[in-house]
Amino acid sequence: MKYHIALLMLLSSLLAVAQQRHVYKFRTIIGTVVDKSNQPVGDCTLLFAGTGIGSTTDAKGHFTFHFPDVPVMLTLYYRVDKHKYFIKVNPDLNTLYIKIDQATFDLSERNIQDWNKNKSIYDENVSQSIQSEEFYEYVHHGQKRIDRDVIIDEPVNEPPIDTNRIYTSVEVVPMFGESYTDWNKFVQANLKYPEKAKKESTQGRVIMSFVVERDGRLTNLKIARGIDPDLDKEALRLLQSSGRWKPARRGGKAVRCAYSSMVEFVIQN
């Protein structure tokens, strides 16, 4: 009798643990960004808010993004008006058509309030879902989402992992520190605003490209989009002083990965 009670308690405990674990689902959205005249916006950067993980629009304004089944916040950087738009993406959204107009600006202002209030929740949604087993399955096995169900296709026969190749598509992206927000914290703590740029009220975002090696070293550091020689130089200094990053992983192996990150220069009043 005691044995049966103990067994029932163990099964109940395991069931409770299983119920607590969130099972993530994903879908891939091919979105479009246009300006107020409905012209496609190319070279526009979209990121999971607070991270360096994202996508860039092509000449037709198209971008591809993998989204988890939890609410996430995107930041869209529009180089024409130099504004950062906040776009909320809910699990039931399967298409994303973003028009840069006054309505999007007004919605962004409301989303900023939501982001500031629930920043930790959005960060947890992104970090946990991207590091989940389901995301690995999604990338490797072509997970499909039909209604609210998930169908796993047959595994794709991929070529062997070449650890000397520089990959642009990986299951686990490179990361600075232990959290996707650590890079922004590092920048805020170590940024030295160039005096000349500050006096001239020069502000903006510097985007850098680089390769994260298998051992976490950063090589081939370049300015992908600069705004001022002094600010560009400071952004590179920060990246060079950041030490080793966690390398990307593909097929369970550490691989070389082309990556990009950003430093935002804002003069505080």
How confident is the model over 180-203, as pLDDT tens digits? 678 888 999 999 999 999 999 998
Rounded distance, CA 74 to CA 53, Å? 10
Rounded distance, CA 161 to CA 165, Å? 8
Say if CB 121 and CB 79 are below 8 A apart.
no
* pLDDT tens for each residue of 115-155: 889 888 888 777 777 666 666 566 555 544 333 333 334 44
Residue 30 lies in a domain: yes
Write down the pLDDT at residue 131: 66
3-state SS class at 139: helix
pLDDT band at 25 (very low <50, low <70, confident <90, very high): confident
Fill in the DSSP letter of residue 211.
E
Rounded distance, CA 100 to CA 173, Å? 29
For residue 192, the domain's CATH number is: 3.30.1150
Burial category of 18 from C-beta neighbours within 10 Å (exposed 0-12, middle 13-18, buried 19 and up): exposed
- Model confidence, pTM: 0.51
Residue 91 lies in a domain: yes
* pLDDT tens for each residue of 197-210: 999 999 888 888 89
Do 169 and 85 lie in one domain? The reply is no
Q: Where a domain ends, among 81, 113, 128?
A: 128
Give the range among 31-40, 50-59, 113-122, 234-243 with minimum mean pLDDT: 50-59
Structural Rg of the chain based on CA atoms: 21
Number of domains in the chain: 2
Range of the domain at 240: 161-265
Rounded distance, CA 263 to CA 269, Å? 19
